[in-house]
Amino acid sequence: MTNVIIAVDCMGGDYGPSVVVAAVKKALQQFPQVAFKLYGDLSQIQAQLKQNQLSLSKRLHVFASSDDVKMCDAPALALKNKKSSSMRMALEAVRDGQANACVSAGNTGALMAVSRFVLKMLPGIDRPAIISAIPTLKNDHVYFLDMGANVECSAKRLAQFAIMGDQLARCLDKSDSPKVGLLNVGEEDNKGSDILKNASAMIAQLTNVNYAGFVEGNQIFSGDYQVIVTDGFTGNNVLKASEGLSHYLAEKIKMAFQKNWWTRFCGLLAKPVINAFKSEINPEKYNGACLIGLRGIVIKSHGSANIHATYCALEEAIVQSYQKLPQRIREQLDQAKSTFD
Amino acid sequence: MTNVIIAVDCMGGDYGPSVVVAAVKKALQQFPQVAFKLYGDLSQIQAQLKQNQLSLSKRLHVFASSDDVKMCDAPALALKNKKSSSMRMALEAVRDGQANACVSAGNTGALMAVSRFVLKMLPGIDRPAIISAIPTLKNDHVYFLDMGANVECSAKRLAQFAIMGDQLARCLDKSDSPKVGLLNVGEEDNKGSDILKNASAMIAQLTNVNYAGFVEGNQIFSGDYQVIVTDGFTGNNVLKASEGLSHYLAEKIKMAFQKNWWTRFCGLLAKPVINAFKSEINPEKYNGACLIGLRGIVIKSHGSANIHATYCALEEAIVQSYQKLPQRIREQLDQAKSTFD
């Protein structure tokens, strides 16, 4: 008997069904009580099912979509014109109780807009926030939000993020009392804008959140916190700058090893170590950003996600489904109502 | 004959006169037309002069301060209570025309507050911004501001930053028409807050600024821009997160090389290459943040700056003095007045 159903948009991302179906195969093996509904172009999906030696069953269903959301589609147009897209159909399955969660590697802006329209927000929340795990030194990872959905945030919004991040960490990491920090330009209470000071005071009042005060940017990767909250503008820029810096450092180290025959020889010897290092900090391990604050579960897989990374996104959808994350967040938001009003 | 005089606060930073005097010695050799006025504890400075075989001359003067600003001093208290500090005396020398620029490795908040009080701001500017060069892939560096002084910024403030960054790049790099970008969550004109959209429209109107529109965080380290403008909150968090990420990656790569005897052997061989890489991305090359927007030149050297890094900060003060940076910024702000009003 299956007790969780995942709706999968097969048409998003750089590789479409060729990666998604292979990832679903792995998840079918790993989670014997989970069923999958695949949405997308029928012939492409069937070709991949054949290639992966999969056949339809009680745990594997396919639904034909007649359209798909392109990476370049404007969110408003995707919402208005792509009503028979695989993305929309997968989200509607969640809305209609035909699935517990939706996974898509499609256009982020469109996924945000269509999710918000189809699934609706939890009471008191205006827009989904984007939250994802990022690697840290001391612990495995920190949950960081908002990564770009809400460029301007009120104090209340930031406090809602603290609740949502806290619940996600409890749910995915089985963490009892995750340490939550609010990003600022200093740790002292008098630092930052009035919005941040008010947000800090609000979060401190939330009895169920283990709030540790302001944190600075250099602490994001330290592992001293399990959840770090910021507005979407700062979050987006911090993450993209980190991507840019990683690329810069990787290129510079490559150049250092390519300088002459001796450095190239050293590079050859060091390659397995460098590769082990790369796999340790591999972003694929952290695939599966969550659109949080919705009435249903939506996991955004990275556009360039490979089979393993897509499997991680499916796994995250499954764990959130078992843990009923949106209901848990709703209860906490209800409890916090007096703090916010 | 000397034509530029640099006032040096010898008491700031982790190492005080022991590093500062040695850096001044190097600058005396490199810039035969520049004189230095050293401010600080007389006996400590004299001990260092002796150690460096330096004696007082027309190009080297020492002034005794009876107090110094500590790293932990609150800016307001430093301003009120430390009127005979080396920091304050060095800034007053600039105000009184006894020096062209001030260099200090002291407490940043105090340096900001005292500079603003002693030197005053250029017309139309409220607070100094902090600008510094950071390394990039394609070009040597990009000038990035504001790094944390102005946590909330109006559109006009951001446009002023564009003017100041542009002038700094022209002055230090002899760049004809530096490419200026404004940090945002996307490159499209409709992205970001109203403040950013207005700032973008204002900067586009500045005839003397080569404005290339919005840039995203991953482009900071790419080298496609010579100046990147953002508010102090985002700038501070982006830079501190970059520091945190660099530390995280350095630790992870160290751990990868320490795994077993073979990886340690590879690490031994790769060490000179890794060291060459480290020196290539060495932040010391980029020492010398500038407090910009003041009526005088103030260079903030890093608290942990060594002799070479301190020398870089002195060199920056000298170049800015020859180029008369504050006057140049003032002229550009005057020209832009109609855009701002």
- CB of B134 less than 8 A from some CB of A: no
- Residues B242 and B255: beta-carbon distance below 8 Å: no
Does residue B14 have a pLDDT over 80?
A: yes
Residue B332 is assigned to a structural domain of this protein: no
Instruction: Please answer yes or no on whether A276 and B269 come within 8 Å at the CB atom.
Output: no
pLDDT of residue B97: 97
CATH number of the domain encompassing residue A299: 3.40.718.10
Please indicate, yes or no, whether residues A297 and A236 belong to a single structural domain of this protein. Answer: no
Instruction: Please answer yes or no on whether B249 and A244 come within 8 Å at the CB atom.
Output: no
pLDDT per residue as tens digits for the range B77-122: 888 988 899 999 999 999 999 999 999 999 889 999 999 999 999 9
Domain that includes residue A68, residue range: 1-123+293-324
Identify all chain A residues contacting B219, using CB atoms and an 8 Å cutoff.
244
Write b or e for each residue in B44-71: b if 16 or more Cβ atoms lie within 10 A of its Cβ, otherwise e.
ebbebbeebebeeeebbbbbebebbbee
Please indicate, yes or no, whether residues A156 and A264 belong to a single structural domain of this protein. Answer: yes
How far away is chain B from the Cα of A29, in angstroms, using its nearest Cα? Answer: 32
Instruction: Please answer yes or no on whether A193 and B238 come within 8 Å at the CB atom.
Output: no
Section A293-319 average pLDDT: 94
Rounded to whole angstroms, the Cα distance separating A161 from A182 reads: 10
pLDDT of residue B1: 63
A148, A183, A244 member nearest B237 (Cβ): A183
Residue A101 is assigned to a structural domain of this protein: yes
Instruction: Please answer yes or no on whether B240 and A252 come within 8 Å at the CB atom.
Output: no
Q: B89 phi and psi, to 5 degrees?
A: -65, -40
Rounded to whole angstroms, the Cα distance separating A67 from A56 reads: 22
Which residue is closest to B190 within chain A, CA to CA? A74
Please indicate, yes or no, whether residues A247 and A306 belong to a single structural domain of this protein. Answer: no
- Chain A interface, best mutation among B233, B243, B254, B274, by max A CB count within 10 A: B233
What is the DSSP-derived secondary structure letter of residue A59? T
Residue B254's pLDDT band, with cuts at 50, 70 and 90, is: confident
Does residue A253 have a pLDDT over 90?
A: no
Closest C-alpha among B110, B146, B127, B103 to residue B293? B127
How far away is chain A from the Cα of B106, in angstroms, using its nearest Cα? Answer: 17
Please indicate, yes or no, whether residues B240 and B145 belong to a single structural domain of this protein. Answer: yes
Closest C-alpha among B121, B140, B118, B144 to residue B290? B144
Write b or e for each residue in B269-296: b if 16 or more Cβ atoms lie within 10 A of its Cβ, otherwise e.
bbeebbebbeeebeebbbbbbbbbbbbb
Instruction: Please answer yes or no on whether A218 and B266 come within 8 Å at the CB atom.
Output: no
Please indicate, yes or no, whether residues B112 and B172 belong to a single structural domain of this protein. Answer: no
Residue A330 is assigned to a structural domain of this protein: no
Please indicate, yes or no, whether residues B98 and B158 belong to a single structural domain of this protein. Answer: no
Instruction: Please answer yes or no on whether B185 and A230 come within 8 Å at the CB atom.
Output: no
Name the strand (E) or helix (H) holding A64: strand A60-64
Residue B147 is assigned to a structural domain of this protein: yes
Residue B300's pLDDT band, with cuts at 50, 70 and 90, is: very high
Residue B283's pLDDT band, with cuts at 50, 70 and 90, is: low
- Residues B282 and B265: beta-carbon distance below 8 Å: no
Chain A residues 276-295 with CB within 8 Å of chain B: 276-277, 280-281
Please indicate, yes or no, whether residues B84 and B214 belong to a single structural domain of this protein. Answer: no
Q: Tokens in use for B144?
A: 């990035």
Q: Which residues lie below 8 Å from residue A156, measured CB to CB, with a gap of 6+?
A: A199, A202, A340
Section A94-122 average pLDDT: 96
Please indicate, yes or no, whether residues B253 and B299 belong to a single structural domain of this protein. Answer: no
Question: What is the complex's ipTM, to 2 decimals?
Answer: 0.88
Closest C-alpha among B139, B227, B218 to residue A246? B218
Instruction: Please answer yes or no on whether A256 and B274 come within 8 Å at the CB atom.
Output: yes
- Residues A154 and A241: beta-carbon distance below 8 Å: no
Chain B residues 190-209 with CB within 8 Å of chain A: 192-193
pLDDT of residue B285: 67
pLDDT of residue A102: 98
pLDDT of residue A277: 75
Rounded to whole angstroms, the Cα distance separating A186 from A191 reads: 6
Q: Tokens in use for B292?
A: 């910009």
- CB of B188 less than 8 A from some CB of A: no
Residue A32 is assigned to a structural domain of this protein: yes
Residue A145 is assigned to a structural domain of this protein: yes
Cβ neighbours, 10 Å, residue B237: 25
Please indicate, yes or no, whether residues A177 and A213 belong to a single structural domain of this protein. Answer: yes
Instruction: Please answer yes or no on whether A234 and B239 come within 8 Å at the CB atom.
Output: no
Chain A residues 242-261 with CB within 8 Å of chain B: 242-249, 251-253, 256-257, 259
- Chain B interface, best mutation among A140, A194, A266, by max B CB count within 10 A: A266
- Residues B81 and B114: beta-carbon distance below 8 Å: no
- The helix/strand/coil state of A168 is helix
Residue reference for tokens 């944190």: A215
Instruction: Please answer yes or no on whether B243 and A136 come within 8 Å at the CB atom.
Output: no
Rounded to whole angstroms, the Cα distance separating A339 from B298 reads: 45
A239, A266, A281 member nearest B269 (Cβ): A266
pLDDT of residue B160: 96
pLDDT of residue A284: 64
Instruction: Please answer yes or no on whether A276 and B253 come within 8 Å at the CB atom.
Output: no
Please indicate, yes or no, whether residues B141 and B279 belong to a single structural domain of this protein. Answer: yes
Does residue A243 have a pLDDT over 90?
A: no
Q: How far is CA B303 from CA A184, A265, B69, B309, in A?
A: 21, 39, 13, 10
Name the strand (E) or helix (H) holding B39: strand B34-40
B233, B252, B276 member nearest A234 (Cβ): B233
A152, A193, A238 member nearest B241 (Cβ): A238
- Number of CB pairs < 8 Å for A and B? 170
Which residue is closest to B234 within chain A, CA to CA? A234
Rounded to whole angstroms, the Cα distance separating B292 from A6 reads: 55
Residue B148 is assigned to a structural domain of this protein: yes
- The helix/strand/coil state of A212 is strand
Does residue B272 have a pLDDT over 90?
A: no
Q: Which residues lie below 8 Å from residue A271, measured CB to CB, with a gap of 6+?
A: none
Residue A165's pLDDT band, with cuts at 50, 70 and 90, is: very high
Alpha carbon A193 to chain centroid distance? 28
Please indicate, yes or no, whether residues B81 and B149 belong to a single structural domain of this protein. Answer: no
pLDDT of residue B25: 97
How far away is chain B from the Cα of A272, in angstroms, using its nearest Cα? Answer: 9
Residue B68's pLDDT band, with cuts at 50, 70 and 90, is: confident
Residue A36 is assigned to a structural domain of this protein: yes
Closest C-alpha among B291, B321, B237 to residue A235? B237
Section A11-17 average pLDDT: 92
Does residue A235 have a pLDDT over 90?
A: yes
Section B282-293 average pLDDT: 81
Q: A254 phi and psi, to 5 degrees?
A: -60, -45
pLDDT of residue A265: 84
Chain B residues 146-165 with CB within 8 Å of chain A: 148, 151-152
State the amino acid at position A256 in one-letter form.
A
Domain count, chain A: 2
Rounded to whole angstroms, the Cα distance separating A326 from B3 reads: 69
Please indicate, yes or no, whether residues A84 and A158 belong to a single structural domain of this protein. Answer: no
